[in-house]
Amino acid sequence: MALQLTRQNISALKNQIPPNELSQTFKDMILVSRFLDIQHVWINSLCIVQDNKGDWRLKLRRCGRFTTTPMPILRLALLHIQARVCFEKESHQAPNPA
């Protein structure tokens, strides 16, 4: 299961988010963000307490504040990375004898 912010682990994750527990997509997003000099990224599963409906309501109301000009650029960069990885995996597969 992917790393998620919960009531149980909120204190630990406030101190440190273990990089080895992040999905490759999140690692790529952080890498691209740093390259684009974007200081903060929003990851719902790590920014909203997943087992707290009140936190979900509160954070979703504030969501518009986090959508800034660089974010569409970041999304496009991530799509590019994901597409490249997808095609690289396909190109390394052995041909299917038919």
What is the predicted pLDDT for the residue at 33?
A: 81
The answer to whether residue 87 scores a pLDDT higher than 80 is no
Cα–Cα distance, 53 to 66 (Å, whole number):
20
What is the predicted pLDDT for the residue at 66?
A: 53
The answer to whether residue 98 scores a pLDDT higher than 50 is no
Domain ranges of the chain: 21-91
User: Which one is predicted more confidently, 95 or 83?
Assistant: 83
The answer to whether residue 29 scores a pLDDT higher than 50 is yes
What is the predicted pLDDT for the residue at 82?
A: 59
What is the per-residue pLDDT across 31-81, written as a single tens digit (0 to 9) for each? 888 887 777 777 888 888 999 999 888 887 776 555 554 556 566 666 656
Half-sphere exposure for 38 (CA within 13 Å, toward CB): 20
Give pTM, 2 decimals. Answer: 0.61
Cα–Cα distance, 92 to 98 (Å, whole number):
18
| Distance (Å) of CA 19 to CA 28, 51, 89 | 11, 22, 23
